[in-house]
Amino acid sequence: MISKKVILTGSFGVGKTSLFRRFIENKFDEKYLTTIGVKVDKKVVEVGDRKLTLIIWDIAGEVKQDKVPTAYFMGTHGLVYVLDLTRPDTYKNIAEDIEYLQKISPKSTIKVVGNKCDLLESEEALEKVLAEIPVPCNFTTSAKTGENVETLFAELSAAMLA
């Protein structure tokens, strides 16, 4: 069984910890508790006939990625950049953030995730928001309903093993 390090990053309040908790424990809490520093947890996933241990680092949100200690990103295999689909300020810097992450962690598989899709009233509203995001959004998720959370980590795991 291979182990891989995955980091959840993005601006504060985008729902990184909620996604983390939904994936690890299949739970959701309406209360917002800001993450202090970093929290590490793990989950074993199956990719085809192979088992993979994901060591997931949920790091405290910062407005810009260069504010996060660089050392956290070292040796990372997968990066999940989370944004809030209802708050444009959480994807305002996304292009330069992604460029920065590719530079400091060139071997990582990066997935851009638009979270809180349950708060958008219609498919049209979602399409409108996605068109405004400067980089392609790989997944739209809802930590609250669990929508696409398993798929996100399953596809990330497969990409890391490829």
Partner 1 sequence: MESKQHNEKPDKLDPSKDKLLEDLRHILLEKDREELERLKYILETPDELEHYTASIIDKRVEQRVERLRQEFRSEFGEPVEKIIEQKIEMSKNELLDVLTPVFGKMIRKYISLQFKLLREQIEKQLKKLKNTPKNFWYWFKSKFTGVNQGDLILEELDKPKIEAIYLIQKQSGLLLGSYARESVADEDMIAGMLTAIKAFVEDAFQKEQQELELIEWENYKVLIQNFNSYYIAVALVGNIPADYRIDLEQSMGAFVEKELQDKNFEEVDSEITQQVSTKIKEHFKLEEAND
Binding to partner 1 (CB under 8 A) within 67-86 occurs at 69-72, 74-77
3-state SS, residue 145: coil
**Residue 1 engages partner 1 in binding (rule: CB under 8 A):** yes
Q: Which of 27, 32, 42, 46 binds partner 1 (CB under 8 A)?
A: 42
Q: Given the complex with partner 1, which of 45 and 126 has the nearer CB atom?
A: 45
**Angstrom distance (rounded) from CA 4 to CA 28:** 25
Q: Are 95 and 62 in contact (CB under 8 A)?
A: no
Whole-angstrom distance, CA of residue 126 vs CA of residue 124: 5
Smallest distance, Å, CB 4 to partner 1?
A: 8
Spatial contact of 1 and 53, defined as CB atoms under 8 Å apart? yes
The size of the chain, in residues, is: 162
Residues near partner 1 (CB under 8 A), total? 20
Q: Does 162 bind partner 1 (CB under 8 A)?
A: no
Which residues contact partner 1 by CB under 8 A?
1-3, 5, 37-38, 40-42, 53, 55, 57, 69-72, 74-77
